[in-house]
Amino acid sequence: MPALLAGSANFIVDEDPAYEPVGDGEHLYLHLEKEGIATDALADALAKAFGKRPSDIGYAGRKDRHAIARQWFSVHFGDEARLANLPEHLRHGRVAVLRTGRHRNKIRLGHLAGNRFRLRLGGASDWEPVRAALARLAHEGIRNRFGTQRFGRNQATLRCARAWGAGDWRGAVAAIVDADDRWRFGDALPEGFRPGPEGRVLGYLRKKPEDARGALVATGDQMRKLVASAAQSAVFNAIADAREALSLTHRLRLGDLGLNAKGAPFLVEADRLDDTNLRAAPGSLQAFASAPLPGTSTLRPAPAIDAEERTWAEPTGIDWSWLDAKGPLESPGERRALVVPFRAPPQLIAEGDQAWLELSLPPGTYATEVLDQCGVTVPDDRRG
Residue 74, judged by CB atoms within 10 A of its CB (0-12, 13-18, 19+), counts as buried
CB 137 within 8 A of CB 374: yes
Say how far apart CA 245 and CA 104 lie, in whole Å.
46
SS3 of 326-351: CCCCCCCCEEEECEECCCEEEEEEEE
Sign of CA dihedral 261, 264, 265, 271: negative
Helix (H, G, I), strand (E, B) or coil at 30: strand
DSSP 5: P
CB 128 within 8 A of CB 27: no
The catalytic residue among 40, 44, 56, 64 is: 64
Q: Are strands 344-351 and 265-267 parallel, antiparallel or unpaired?
A: unpaired
Judge whether 178 counts as a catalytic residue.
no
Say how far apart CA 144 and CA 137 lie, in whole Å.
11
Question: CA of 97: how far to CAs of 29, 274, 356, in Å?
Answer: 11, 51, 26
Q: List the beta bridge partners of residue 291.
A: 336
Say how far apart CA 221 and CA 215 lie, in whole Å.
12
Helix (H, G, I), strand (E, B) or coil at 56: helix
Please list, in sequence order, all residues whose beta carbon lies within 8 angstroms of the beta carbon of residue 189, skipping any fewer than 6 positions away. 177, 202, 205, 206, 209
Say how far apart CA 19 and CA 113 lie, in whole Å.
8
Question: CA of 44: how far to CAs of 37, 49, 382, in Å?
Answer: 11, 9, 22
Q: Side-chain half-sphere of 149: how many Cα atoms within 13 Å?
A: 19
Instruction: Give catalytic residue positions.
Output: 64
